[in-house]
Amino acid sequence: MHITIRTTNAATQTMQEVELDLGEALALEQAPAITHVAAPRSVAQPTPAARFVGLGHDYQPADKTATAPYVLDTSTGLIWARTLAQGGAAKRLDHAAAIEAVKDLGEGWRLPTRAELLTLVDDTRHEPAIDVAAFPDTQSGWYWTSTPAAWNPSADAWVVVFDYGSAHTLNRSYDAFVRAVRSASPAGQ
Q: Which residues contact 26 (CB under 8 A, 6 or more apart)?
A: 37
Q: Is residue 123 part of a domain?
A: yes
- One domain for residues 40 and 94: no
Say which residue, 39 or 98, is predicted with more confidence. 98
- One domain for residues 176 and 117: yes
Q: Is residue 96 part of a domain?
A: yes
Q: Is residue 107 part of a domain?
A: yes
For the chain, give the mean pLDDT. 79
Q: Is residue 65 part of a domain?
A: no
Q: Which long-range contacts (CB under 8 A, 24 or more apart) does 173-176 make?
A: 173/94, 173/95, 174/94, 174/142, 175/92, 175/93, 175/94, 176/92, 176/93, 176/95, 176/98, 176/141, 176/142, 176/143, 176/144
C-alpha torsion angle, residues 106, 145, 165, 174 (rounded to 10): 110
For the cut 60, the answer to whether the pLDDT of residue 114 exceeds it is yes
**What's the domain count of the chain?**
2
Q: Is residue 54 part of a domain?
A: no
Whichever domain contains 105, its CATH number is 3.10.100.10
pLDDT at 20: 54
For the cut 60, the answer to whether the pLDDT of residue 126 exceeds it is yes
For the cut 90, the answer to whether the pLDDT of residue 168 exceeds it is yes
Average pLDDT of the segment spanning 40-60: 69
- One domain for residues 33 and 86: no
**pLDDT band (50, 70, 90) for residue 19:** low
Q: Is residue 40 part of a domain?
A: yes
Max mean pLDDT among 67-81, 130-144, 158-172 falls in 158-172
With a threshold of 0.75, does the pTM exceed it? no
Q: Which residues contact 156 (CB under 8 A, 6 or more apart)?
A: 148, 149, 169, 170, 171, 172
Note down the domain range covering 34. 1-47
Say which residue, 171 or 12, is predicted with more confidence. 171
CA distances from 72 to 50, 75, 101, 181 (A): 10, 9, 20, 10
- One domain for residues 94 and 41: no
- One domain for residues 166 and 105: yes
Q: Is residue 67 part of a domain?
A: no
For the cut 90, the answer to whether the pLDDT of residue 89 exceeds it is no
Q: Is residue 75 part of a domain?
A: no
- One domain for residues 87 and 174: yes
